[in-house]
């Protein structure tokens, strides 16, 4: 369930970054939001990868 929530959160962050960009927000806010979206996506995908269980 957590990977799904992380991927949903990443989608919300991507939408937020696009909205911030369209509204003319400072570049730093857009970049931080985009980086958080990338991190949430990476975390969700990596959580789904099979591991050794340790």
Q: Is the predicted pLDDT of residue 54 greater than 60, yes or no? A: no
Q: 21-37, pLDDT tens digit by residue?
A: 999 999 999 999 999 99
pLDDT at residue 16 in the model: 97
Mean pLDDT in residue range 6-27: 97
Check: CB of residue 40 under 8 Å from CB of residue 9. yes
Sign (positive or negative) of CA dihedral 37, 39, 40, 42: positive
């Amino acid at each position: 369930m957590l990977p799904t929530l992380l991927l949903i959160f990443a989608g919300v962050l991507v939408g937020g970054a696009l909205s911030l960009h369209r509204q003319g927000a400072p570049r730093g806010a857009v970049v931080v939001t985009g980086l958080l979206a990338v991190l949430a996506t990476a975390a969700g995908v990596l959580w789904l990868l099979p591991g050794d269980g340790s």
